[in-house]
A = this chain, B = another copy of it.
Amino acid sequence: MKFCDQCGAAVRLSIPAGDHLPRYVCEACSTIHYRNPRIVVGCVPEHEGRILLCRRAIEPRRGFWTVPAGFMENNETLQQAAARESQEEAQAEVTIGSLLSVVHVLHAEQVHVFFRARLPAARYAPGAESLEVGLVAPADIPWADLAFPSTEFTLHRYLEDKAGGSEPYHFTTIDRRLTRTPGS
């Protein structure tokens, strides 16, 4: 951030009075610009034991596999966002179920939220952001070609929980700055 989105003047990083973190502050109109994590929402749609996966047509991680997921918009719920992303990325009408995982992706300044979901009919096709989509048996999940660590975490928990016959939620934190080298 270089300029104030309210008045167009330059912003400067400084700690406002009473605050404890540096913020982008406008030198002209004094607006304080807070920057907060964005929410990414997705789901694990299942149809008769197989899971709907999408191969990404866009960066980051073009060509890698993921479950349907994307940025939450204003004026929608998490569940509506998860269903919308399944429609957009896989042209799939899903029924959103229980909360599955919450992943703090610190290096990306994002919180990823995933739900269990059902795909009642095996109807799906690539949306604009997918190269291909398909129903994949658990044994055939392309673990080495998944797009994101949060996808991997979420699919592992989904399968474990299903084997165990329960539907708990899971929190985890991923910080690639500490634990992984930056991706492509």
The answer to whether the Cβ of A6 comes within 8 Å of any Cβ in the partner chain is yes
- In the complex, the answer to whether A78 meets B111 with C-beta atoms within 8 Å is yes
Residues of the B chain whose Cβ atoms lie less than 8 Å from the Cβ of A7: 2-3
Q: Which residue of B lies closest to A40 (CB)?
A: B36
The answer to whether the Cβ of A102 comes within 8 Å of any Cβ in the partner chain is yes
- In the complex, the answer to whether B109 meets A75 with C-beta atoms within 8 Å is yes
Residues of the B chain whose Cβ atoms lie less than 8 Å from the Cβ of A6: 1-3
* Distance A142 CA – B99 CA, assembled complex (angstroms): 31
* Distance A1 CA – B26 CA, assembled complex (angstroms): 14
Interface size bracket, A side = 35 or more
Query: How far in angstroms is the closest Cβ of chain B from A141?
Result: 27
Q: Which residue of B lies closest to A71 (CB)?
A: B36
Query: How far in angstroms is the closest Cβ of chain B from A13?
Result: 13
The answer to whether the Cβ of A55 comes within 8 Å of any Cβ in the partner chain is no
- In the complex, the answer to whether A74 meets B36 with C-beta atoms within 8 Å is yes
Query: How far in angstroms is the closest Cβ of chain B from A32?
Result: 12
Query: How far in angstroms is the closest Cβ of chain B from A168?
Result: 10
* Distance A33 CA – B6 CA, assembled complex (angstroms): 13
Task: List chain A positions with a Cβ less than 8 A from chain B.
Answer: 1-11, 18, 21, 33-39, 71-79, 99, 102, 104, 106, 109, 111, 128, 169, 171, 173
Give the 10 A-B CB pairs with smallest separation, nearest first: A3-B8, A77-B104, A74-B109, A1-B5, A5-B5, A8-B8, A36-B38, A3-B5, A77-B173, A75-B106
